[in-house]
Amino acid sequence: MKEAELWSKVEEFFSENFDTDKHPQMDTILFLIGVQELGSGKQKYTKDDKLNILHIAVCRLLEPFGYYKFSHYDDDGYPHFEVLEALPELKPNEQQILMKKAVIQYFMDEDLF
């Protein structure tokens, strides 16, 4: 299956399961993946919580690419990652492409397709 078809399946998953727009924003996708990884479910989050949740998602998504490695959970249950390799400087469209590939990989790894 081509990447564009896989991405359509990702978008479909979010719109069907989380009532997002047909083409959800990357931040929405990252937030929901971060909540899933944190295991905290639906609740009210502070602005700092939301940023931490986005960070969790990015680390988890880029882990298979060799940029991060899970290290431990803290006392509040938040996962922590160590940096294995600094991310290269990417243009915004290149960042978008990398994150789409990472989300597709996550869906394959987690058997969500």
Prediction pTM value: 0.90
- Give residue 67's pLDDT: 97
- Give residue 100's pLDDT: 97
- Give residue 63's pLDDT: 97
In DSSP notation, 4-67 reads HHHHHHHHHHHHHHH---SS--HHHHHHHHHHHHHT--S----HHHHHHHHHHHHHHHHGGGTS
- Give residue 19's pLDDT: 85
- Give residue 10's pLDDT: 96
- Give residue 31's pLDDT: 96
- Give residue 79's pLDDT: 95
- Give residue 1's pLDDT: 83
* Residue 87 DSSP label: P
Chunked mean pLDDT (size 10), the chain, 113 residues? 94 92 94 93 90 97 97 93 95 94 96 89
